[in-house]
Amino acid sequence: MSDPVNPESLPAPERASASPVENPGPSASAIAPPTAAAPATTMIEDSMSGASAAEPGAADAWSEDSAVEPGESFAEALQAFERSHTHGAERQQLEGRVISVSADQVFLDIGYKMEGVLPRSAFQNNAEGIKPGDIFPVSITGRNEENYYELSRFRVAQPRDWSALEKAFAEKIAVAGTVTGLVKGGLTVDVGVRAFMPGSRSGTHDAAEMEALVGQRIECRITKLDVTDEDVVVDRRVVLEEQARSALANRRAALKEGDTVNGRVRSLASYGAFVEIGGLSGLEGLLHVSDISYSRIARPEEVLSIGQEVKVRILKVDPETKKISLGLKQLEPEPWETAAERYQPGQRVMGTVTRVTDFGAFVEIEPGVEGLIHISEMSWAKKVRHPSDLLKAGDRVDAVLLSIRPQERRIALGLKQALADPWIEAERNFPAGAQVEGTVTKLMNFGAFVEIAEGVEGLVHISEIAADRRLHHPSDVVRVGQRVKALVLAVDPERRQFRLSMKQLIPTDLDEFMAEHKAGDVVSGRVVELTASGAVVELGEGIRAACRTRKAAAGEKSAPAATAPAGKADLSSLTSMLKARWKGNAPAATPEPEPLAEGQVRSFRIVNLDAEAKRIEVEVA
């Protein structure tokens, strides 16, 4: 075995190249390209650097066992040396056995004197379920401040020669390197040789972050390798993206329906909020607006804001579409489960109108519990055409609970039940024959509706509006909003109906005639019709009277005498008549009045006025 080379005995250039290297490990010039054109001094320097990084005695082994054979290049000798003296574990993945698990890290035995560490986030479900003795494949990426080996669960190579770089490039294996400087357009990285990393592939967002990488150990992938030109380009961003995707997939696989997770609101939409789960970018779930609160809300902005930290429950995970459905209200007790204990039929409740439909209005009586006021339960007497005529969204109302069905999540409410029923007092306040006054509320072909009290309406039939003429429509006499007087004809409490009459209270021409005349008055009239007992006489427009002739009247008076028994004549009357004629003082016989004829105008004497029956009797004057 030859003695080691003494640097002092070498020429100055060779002495400089043979001097010991202080910094162990491969440098940017540690791997020379396998070309015969490389200077001999460089090869010596590289070989000495490699020897100093190897185990103790490597320099002796280099000087004794690795002497350059004639015709062998220095590059080939260097590769042979590094293949035989580089720690094999640094060129392949190791098996790490879990020793312990702390709050932030997992410690593993990798067969070295010092343990290796991995962050808990490198495992599924944040290392929940990881226990001592578990084995995982790992790669060494460097050392931390506490001198522990920094590990990665991704396959990371630490090339020692060009063949290792070529293998990492061909197999797209991530390599470990140290950022050495900031240059135009990117960074320089020591991966065993000097490599260039474009700024766009550094995985940073701005120049400050890029500058902060200088001096740090990183994992990157070789995207370009030109041995001849010694041109190596690396990419850190693709490794970060792969690690993020792997962590995302692990985290997604660990999610189960029913789990409660922490998240942050990333964006809001009209139909819900997108929540970033577990702080992992790309792991998002949809919190639908219907699952935000048991209370009815129109938009998510009413409850949530962007950036807000929330705790949500996983409702569904779709393995095909990878969509995650989240729920916020599911973390609170379901109000319908105990609704039957808090609400009973007949109970008065207060709530807020949330929405109005064609058939009724929904009222929220507590968060998550709504009841329906049907349109038929809104008013006692007024016919409600649409619920919006009485209620609108946001109104506070008092109602009476009519029924509750918790299984169907339905509560029936009544608005009119919370008010006094006007029909209870209507029959007593407005009996038949009473005179009332009200406002015309609606006109129909068959009559007019008049509100005689709040919530109480009556119908004036078209035949009871005017007495002196025939109407085609109530609008010929009355209009909506007009105040009128009427007479109550009948009351039907069961059907909640009043029959009214206006014409009964309007004085007619007949009433005025009877008020202005009395029995015995002589009036003029026209015979309009002859009857068996007399005639019908028109005394004025719409005023008719019955006229009996004298013969008819006399016939009625003599009828009883005619029925007297034969042989019993009134001789005293006959004697008195004969004496009067004999003495010459008997009254002269009056001429018979002219017979009545239709259309004849003559004078008549009022015989009888019946105001209740509205009947007038006359005779020829």
Q: In whole angstroms, what is the distance from residue 419 CA to residue 116 CA?
A: 79
Q: In whole angstroms, what is the distance from residue 130 CA to residue 128 CA?
A: 6
According to DSSP, residue 356 is labeled E
Question: pLDDT at position 23, please?
Answer: 37
Question: pLDDT at position 615, please?
Answer: 87
Residues 11 and 48 in one domain: yes
Q: In whole angstroms, what is the distance from residue 302 CA to residue 298 CA?
A: 8
E-strand spans in 496-563?
Answer: 497-501, 522-530, 534-540, 543-548
Identify the CA nearest to 175 among candidates 234, 127, 225: 234
Give the residue numbers spanning the domain of 413: 335-418
Domain boundary among 70, 86, 102: 86
Q: Is residue 528 part of a domain?
A: yes
| CA contacts within 13 A on the Cβ side of 271 | 2
Q: Is residue 361 part of a domain?
A: yes
Question: pLDDT at position 555, please?
Answer: 52
Residues 378 and 293 in one domain: no
Residues 20 and 40 in one domain: yes
Q: Is residue 2 part of a domain?
A: no
Which CATH number covers residue 267?
2.40.50.140
pLDDT along the chain (621 residues), means of 10: 40 37 41 43 33 36 40 53 44 79 89 88 78 86 82 70 84 87 90 89 88 87 86 91 82 83 90 85 86 85 90 89 89 84 89 91 89 88 82 89 89 86 77 88 91 85 84 90 90 85 80 85 90 87 82 51 46 61 56 78 89 84 79
Q: Tell me how many domains the chain contains.
A: 5
Question: pLDDT at position 338, please?
Answer: 84
pTM beyond 0.85, yes or no: no
Question: pLDDT at position 59, please?
Answer: 37
Pairing of strands 174-183, 156-157: parallel
Q: In whole angstroms, what is the distance from residue 289 CA to residue 298 CA?
A: 8
Give the number of residues written for the chain: 621
Residues 377 and 481 in one domain: no
Radius of gyration of the chain from its Cα atoms, rounded to whole angstroms: 59
Q: Is residue 154 part of a domain?
A: no
Domain boundary among 27, 62, 86: 86
What's the distance, CA 528 to chain centroid? Answer: 79
| CA contacts within 13 A on the Cβ side of 252 | 21
Question: pLDDT at position 420, please?
Answer: 72
Angle at CA 534, nearest 5°, toward 528 and 536?
25
Residues 327 and 383 in one domain: no
Question: pLDDT at position 140, please?
Answer: 79
Domain boundary among 358, 392, 418: 418
Residues 523 and 473 in one domain: no
Residues 282 and 343 in one domain: no
Question: pLDDT at position 297, please?
Answer: 82
